């Protein structure tokens, strides 16, 4: 079964030249490339095979992104939630994305504190209820505490992630990805389950040989 691999470059590379170089080295039809917004135009001029994605959907420039050839948009990433983006804002962006025929990738996931306090399912229910029924959407389960930059020092368990994705599948009909410090050494532990239909890759996507080995 085809698995969707999404390269989320987050706040890297540092320069336009580095972004163009990385795009050229990782241009592959089975890899969605999502550069920082300010590099999208340059990267769009380089990629020939990869679908292009955006790391957010600024409402003021949504049509411009569409004109650049952007196909996928990442919404609700933990980085944006951490600076105050609310479920209401994400719902509005999701509606806009669907109206413009983007394919949204909605990120959901709990923090370590929410997990430890027994609020995991409550948090996930609130985050995922923005998904309208019958929409063509991907949901990326991204446990915030499992991301290497979170500082929790905790690692996710693929079996636990599978159970979480099954729980989310019981709430909405969507395609599900896993995100959370995914690398070539562990991606197979997640993608071996048919319920997990791909991966949202962060830091490892900046290393061409690493990300291409996951496809």
In which band, very low, low, confident or very high, does the pLDDT at 150 lie, cut at 50, 70 and 90? low
pLDDT of residue 145: 92
Active-site residue among 77, 110, 114, 197?
77
Cα distance between residue 106 and residue 75, in whole Å? 5
Specify whether 29 is catalytic.
no
Name the β-bridge partners of 178: 141, 199
Mean pLDDT along residues 98-120 = 96
Evaluate the CA torsion angle 133, 143, 195, 159 in order and state its sign.
negative
Cα distance between residue 204 and residue 215, in whole Å? 13
Name the β-bridge partners of 140: 107, 177
What pTM was computed for the model? 0.95
Nearest to 56 by CA among 8, 16, 17, 88: 8
In which band, very low, low, confident or very high, does the pLDDT at 129 lie, cut at 50, 70 and 90? very high
Q: Which helix (H) or strand (E) holds 19?
A: helix 16-26
Mean pLDDT along residues 170-194 = 94
Question: CA-CA-CA-CA torsion for 141, 143, 146, 149, nearest 10 degrees?
Answer: 100
Specify whether 110 is catalytic.
no
> Does 1 score more than 60 pLDDT?
no
Cα distance between residue 33 and residue 40, in whole Å? 10
Cα distance between residue 203 and residue 182, in whole Å? 8
Taking residue 174's Cβ as centre, other Cβ atoms within 10 Å add up to 18
Active-site residue among 28, 110, 114, 142?
142
């Amino acid at each position: 079964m085809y698995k969707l691999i999404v390269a989320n470059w987050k706040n890297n590379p540092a320069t336009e030249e580095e972004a163009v170089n990385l795009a050229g080295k990782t241009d592959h039809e089975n890899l969605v490339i999502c550069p920082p917004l300010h590099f999208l135009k340059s990267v769009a001029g380089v990629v020939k095979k990869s679908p292009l994605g955006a790391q957010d959907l600024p409402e003021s420039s949504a049509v411009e992104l569409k004109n650049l050839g952007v196909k996928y948009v990442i919404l609700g990433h933990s980085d944006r939630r951490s600076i105050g983006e609310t479920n209401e804002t994400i719902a509005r962006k999701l509606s806009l994305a669907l109206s413009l025929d983007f394919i949204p990738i909605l990120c959901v996931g709990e923090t370590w504190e929410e997990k430890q306090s027994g609020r995991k399912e409550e948090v996930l229910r609130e985050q995922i209820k923005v998904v309208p029924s019958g929409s063509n959407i991907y949901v990326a389960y991204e446990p915030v505490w499992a991301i290497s930059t979170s500082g929790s020092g905790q690692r996710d368990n693929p079996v636990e992630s599978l159970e979480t994705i099954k729980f989310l599948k019981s709430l909405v009909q969507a395609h599900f990805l896993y995100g959370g410090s995914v690398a070539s050494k562990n991606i197979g532990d997640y993608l071996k389950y048919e319920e997990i239909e791909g991966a949202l890759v962060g830091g490892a996507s900046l290393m061409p040989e690493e990300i291409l080995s996951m496809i």
